[in-house]
Amino acid sequence: MSQSRWCWLMIAPVAVGLLIFTVGPMLVSLMLSFTDYDVVSRPSFVGSANYHYLLTADPSFWVSVKVTAMYAAASVPLGLFTALAVAMLLNMEVPFRGLFRTLYYLPTLLPATASGVLWAWIFHPTDGALNRMLLSVGVRGPGWTSSPSWALPALIIMSVWSYGGAMVVFLAGLQGASKTLLEAAGLDGAGPWKRFCVVTWPSLTPVVFFNVTMSLIGAMKTFDQAFAFGTSGPGVGGPARATLFYVLNLYSKAFEHFHMGLASAMAWILFAAIGGLTFLNFRLSRRWVQEEAG
């Protein structure tokens, strides 16, 4: 058998899967987004009505966009900054580095569902560990899970807990930074901050770019932890829809109310937003990412 035969034989399952589970469904989903479809009856064509309804009349669409945008805007920088700080500390020759790295990564691999439930208990307004701790130093904590203005910050704090993936990637990037360059800069009299700015950061930019892109996409797709968090406390979507994430909204439209056409339109808007943001990221990255380094 020729090499190209072998090649196609080995790729075949993946190629079939790509057609059945991605390419085909994408086309169907695009078509469905222009229809009214409730699973039971046949889809009926409604033109751009779904998009129009979402953008101008739907009572929850913009709420969920705002919730998700605020979450991403706070969680991504906060999480990445913490991850980078921990990675830089771990990059020093401290004892038990391996153990530290493992334990800092641990929360990331927990099921987001279990994390959501756990943090709902920690943030419990009256009996949660956090408010009890605050009370023991004389502070009356906010209602967190039951408060429209504190439920989203609670989820943001929780998200910082699971940035271990970004930390590991930062750590790998830091280890790629040239030791000789760092030493040379040190001999030239550059202090730690100067060395960071001149040597470490430039060689780290590709990794930063990767982490920013992936974290942003991840934040926009937030579902599991928000669903679990809501179920454990104020109900899915949170008090006064304060934690009605975009994908929660999409899920509820599709699989609770069976507005499949509307949900498909929401999916395509999300896709466009992710695509647009990633593209923007790539364009911006040309200015500050130094591909040669590392």
Partner 1 sequence: MKPRLVPAFAVLVVGLIVCLAPLAWMISTSLKPFDELFKGGISLIPQHTRFENYSDSLRTFDFLRAFGNSVFVAVLTVLGTLASSIPAAYAFARLKAKGSSWVFYGLLATMMLPGQITIIPVFRLFASLGMIDTYAPLIVPAWLGTNAFAVFLLRQFFRSLPEETMEAARLDGANEGLILVRIAVPLARPAVVTVAVFAFLGSWNDLWGPLVYLHREERMTLPVALVNFVGSSGTVQGTPWNLVMAASVVTVLPAVLLFAFCQRSFVAGIATTGMK
Q: State which residue, 150 or 246, has the beta carbon closest to partner 1.
A: 246
Does 260 engage in binding with partner 1 (CB under 8 A)?
yes
Handedness of CA 8, 9, 14, 16 (dihedral sign): positive
Separation CA 33–CA 271 (nearest Å)? 13
Does 190 engage in binding with partner 1 (CB under 8 A)?
no
The count of chain residues that interact with partner 1, using the rule CB under 8 A, is 99
Contacting partner 1 within 32-51 (CB under 8 A): 32, 39
Contacting partner 1 within 97-116 (CB under 8 A): 100-107, 109-114
Contacting partner 1 within 199-258 (CB under 8 A): 206-207, 210-211, 217, 220-221, 223-224, 227-228, 231-232, 247, 250-251, 254-255
Does 174 engage in binding with partner 1 (CB under 8 A)?
no
Q: State which residue, 102 or 290, has the beta carbon closest to partner 1.
A: 102
Does 15 engage in binding with partner 1 (CB under 8 A)?
yes
Token pair, residue 17, equals 């899967």
Separation CA 88–CA 203 (nearest Å)? 13
Q: What sections of 110-245 are H helices per DSSP? A: 112-122, 129-136, 151-160, 164-176, 179-187, 192-195, 201-220, 224-232
Tell which one of 13, 59, 138, 189 touches partner 1 (CB under 8 A): 13
Q: Which residues pair with 44 in a beta bridge?
A: 36
**Minimum CB–partner distance for residue 90 and partner 1 (Å):** 7
Axis crossing angle, helix 97-109 with helix 61-90, rounded to the nearest 10: 170
**Minimum CB–partner distance for residue 106 and partner 1 (Å):** 7
AA identity, residue 145: T
Tell which one of 139, 172, 184, 240 touches partner 1 (CB under 8 A): 172
Contacting partner 1 within 274-293 (CB under 8 A): 274-275, 278
Handedness of CA 33, 36, 38, 44 (dihedral sign): negative
Q: State which residue, 103 or 197, has the beta carbon closest to partner 1.
A: 103
Separation CA 262–CA 38 (nearest Å)? 10
